[in-house]
Structure 1
Amino acid sequence: MRNLIKASTVALVVVGGSLVAVPAYAADLTCSGDLGSQTVAGTLTVPAGVDCVIGGGTVEGDIIVEEDGWLDATSVTVTGDVIATDAYGVSIDGTSVAGDIVAYSADTRGGFLYLNDLAVGGSVEAGGIDVEVTDSTVTGSLNTLAATYVDLLRTSVDGDVSIDGSDFGVSVFGAIVKGGVSVSGSSRDVLIGADADGVADSFGNTIGGGLSLTGNTANLRVASTTVYGGIALDGNTPAAAFGTGVLAGSVTGDYTGEAPGQADGDQSIAVTVPEQGDGELTWSLEGTSNLVDLGVAEERLDHYFADGEIVPIRIQDTRRDNPAWSITAQVSDFTAGGAAVSSKYLGWMPEVFESEGGAVAGPAVPSGFDSGDGLSAARTLAQADAGHTRGSSLVGADLELKLPLDTPRGTYTATVTLTVLG
């Protein structure tokens, strides 16, 4: 993998003031496109027809998605609710929503609600749309009405789960529900811990309350599911078919297949272990600004001198088998108006602040004023060998700039380009 981006700016004042970078924040905001990772200090509204993208941002309030709006959020923190009415769709992939998530569409419309790797502090309610909830936790309840289909996968729900009238089926695998589960009125496959042929899935379910299956009119399969309350079956055509691994406090109603075993005990412990993912190699700047200010250069015997530190960089490697990686940097020439000064005069001393991910600092590079090409050529900031410890590392470098005394005065800037290979 090769990940290259212009990450930060180095500013130097030979004579004059310094530069200041101000992070972007906003109050109540109407989204018009890609918001990046900014903080919205209020309500975020996604208006009709707008695709709103948020990556790593925070919304200190509610998110309102209007008709035909599309919310595409990744690693977002929302302190309020997410409410979507007749939206094109809502997709939230990490991190948390403190309140409720509510998404409904009229019966003449479509839409979707996709939640992945998300902590929901309230409840989830949806109707008339596709619903997928995966690898998440819901503190409240989960209720759907006339959803197109519902997939509840490897998710914990503290309250009840109610799924009614899903014309294109229901799948529940790896769910841990402290309350009860009710599935009713589905006209396509209802698969509870089993595939369409009734084979038990490795991701079984644990239900602290009861399991109610009523009025379903298609293939209804239950396997690999423990129900500490009772299983209630009524009006299902054909009757529910039980496979292996079904345990229940009691069963009422018609079913075929294997008789459930007895679910008993004073307490139960449930945990879902997912398949190890491929993981990823990511990095981010750890600072309030991407500006490196070297201040005002000091005149010495035969050169100008300035020093500073790059913005620390956190590297997170969660890839399977822990392959090798490296991060390099190269600096553009310093410019001030029409004047340009080679970046070879900039050198550094890399260092590792945190090494849970097995990072090793790259070699020191002297200023080209003394010898060599400095940071005008790509230089290794840090690296980790194959088989390194899985985790994150925080790396940085001390900068040292030596410029000839005949350098024209001015405020100079240069760009640092970081390249991650792995």
Structure 2
Amino acid sequence: MNAKWKVPVVALLVVGGSVVAAPAYAADLSCTTELGSQVVSGNLTVPSGAECVLGDVTVQGDIIVEADGWLDATSVVVEGDVIGTDVYGVLLDGTSVAGDISVYSAGTRSGFLYVNDLKVGGDVAAGGVDVEVTESTIAGSFTTQAANYVDLVRTSVAQDVVIDGSAFGVTVAGAIVQGSVTVSHGGRDVLVGANPDGSADAFGNSIGGDLTLSDNAANLRVAGTNVHGVIALAGNTPVAAFGAGNVARSVNGDYTGDAPAAPAAGDQSIAVTVPTQSAGELIWSLEGTSALVDLGVAEEQLDFYLAHGSIVPIRIQDTSAGNPAWSLTTVVSNFQAGGQTVSSKYLGWTPALLENNGGAVAGPAIPSGYDEGDGLSVTRTLASAPAGHARGASVATADLELKLPLDTPQGTYTATVTVTALS
């Protein structure tokens, strides 16, 4: 008499990390190290001489950077202000600051304020430091005093821009300013929509009010700039040199070069800045609340045990510049139950696409190693896409088939799946 028994089999999909809740700090926090995926309910302070690196952090109060402190923040949400005095540096790359940004150096420290891809709900003000603001939106004004140099590039400012006393140059390129722009007491190259040789740069500017250029001792160049008001020039040595593409209602003061064209007739003007395309990335995520794949209880067949299931669907999104080819591959570890080990070659699959807005192709079917080959014990392709694919998302899955020899020891077995995205 033959006894019949079943082998319970469970496969666990591991995605390369644990899912944990973001910790929250209930009070003010002093930051002297790296912090990631956290919420600070009070103020965050970078003490004097310390370095604070933030990634995916929300600060519900202010960020205060003390003398010689260094703040390096990526993908941050600040619900208050960012304030720095005599800092080594403040770098804000991505997401938002609801209040003001104010960074000044009153001593010998020559620090920096670098802002990129940021939404600012208030004003940005800086002095005595290097200032670079790119691809950002400022709901208030932008003001610098005695900044070493100022770059305002591909940025929208809702109010006025005032740049005074930048001895090492000023660049305003791709800016949309709803108010007026004033640049005074600048040195070296003062470039408004222009390259150092006077030709128009790739971006140009749109200024809703006036453009005032005064008392600059610099290579003062203006090109490709649409001024809805008046261009006012005074005390510049040498005088401003105008290149091609300027538009203004009138010009007061001395200049050389091309006279600005008159504004086009109409009641409104529309301006938009197209940013530099980001490098992008190939990302994937699980489509489900659980990473556990349950193959249930294996059923005894004539000469093997059989279990079926499906992997948790995986969403793939490729935003890489140029739409290069990509692939999503997996490899499965051996099954373990206590001290027993069963080769993962006995697991096979048939990939499929549940959604395909990204030009993906499902990987080939792989039979269980019980029938032939190595199954999923070696790297296999779940999905891929050729170069030039569409930029939409695709969702890949696979039906699993596990065939085990009848002499497999009884037990509840688990294995892990490692997923790798290549582009």
Tell me the CA shift for residue 245 of structure 1.
Answer: 2.0
Instruction: Show CA shifts across 1:367-389 (max 9, x none).
Output: 44555422211111111123322
User: Aligned runs of 1:307-346 on 2, under 5 Å?
Assistant: 307=309, 309-310=311-312, 312-320=314-322, 322-335=323-336, 338-346=339-347
Query: Which is bigger in relative contact order (C-alpha 8 A, separation at least 6)?
Result: 1
Distance 1:354 1:107, change over 3 A: farther
Structure 1: runs of 5 or more not aligned: 1-12
Q: Distance in 1 between matches of 2:269 and 2:259?
A: 21
Instruction: Show CA shifts across 1:379-411 (max 9, x none).
Output: 111111233223433434455555567446467
The residue number in structure 1 matching 2:22 is 25
Q: Find the residue that maps to 1:375 and give its secondary structure.
A: helix
| Alignment check: 8 A CA contact 1:228 1:264 kept | no
User: Aligned runs of 1:165-204 on 2, under 5 Å?
Assistant: 165-204=165-204
The residue number in structure 2 matching 1:6 is none
Q: Distance in 2 between matches of 1:109 and 1:393?
A: 51
**In structure 1, what residue type is equivalent to 2:179?**
G
**In structure 1, what residue type is equivalent to 2:357?**
E
Tell me the CA shift for residue 80 of structure 1.
Answer: 3.9
**In structure 2, what residue type is equivalent to 1:393?**
S
Tell me the CA shift for residue 179 of structure 1.
Answer: 0.8
Q: Find the residue that maps to 1:344 and give its secondary structure.
A: helix
Comparing 351-360 and 189-198, the one that deviates more? 351-360
The residue number in structure 2 matching 1:260 is 260
Q: Distance in 1 between matches of 2:382 and 2:13?
A: 26
- How does the TM-score come out when normalised to structure 1? 0.83
Instruction: Show CA shifts across 1:231-278 (max 9, x none).
Output: 222222222222222221222233333332323532112233456x47
| Alignment check: 8 A CA contact 1:230 1:250 kept | yes
- How does the TM-score come out when normalised to structure 2? 0.83
Q: Distance in 2 between matches of 1:21 and 1:273?
A: 38
| Alignment check: 8 A CA contact 1:292 1:311 kept | no
Q: Distance in 1 between matches of 2:54 and 2:355?
A: 29
**In structure 1, what residue type is equivalent to 2:418?**
V
Structure 2: runs of 5 or more not aligned: 1-7
The residue number in structure 2 matching 1:392 is 393
Q: Distance in 2 between matches of 1:286 and 1:293?
A: 11
Query: Aligned pairs, how many?
Result: 404
Q: Which protein is bigger by CA-based radius of gyration?
A: 2
Q: Distance in 2 between matches of 1:152 and 1:414?
A: 50
User: Aligned runs of 1:110-189 on 2, under 5 Å?
Assistant: 110-189=110-189
Q: Find the residue that maps to 2:106 and give its secondary structure.
A: coil
Q: Distance in 2 between matches of 1:140 and 1:286?
A: 40
| Alignment check: 8 A CA contact 1:173 1:192 kept | yes
Q: Distance in 2 between matches of 1:281 and 1:310?
A: 22
Percent of pairs identical after alignment? Answer: 56
Distance 1:146 1:393, change over 3 A: farther
**In structure 1, what residue type is equivalent to 2:293?**
L
The residue number in structure 2 matching 1:294 is 293
**In structure 1, what residue type is equivalent to 2:285?**
L
**In structure 1, what residue type is equivalent to 2:312?**
I
Distance 1:367 1:101, change over 3 A: farther
Correspondence 1:89 to 2:86: no
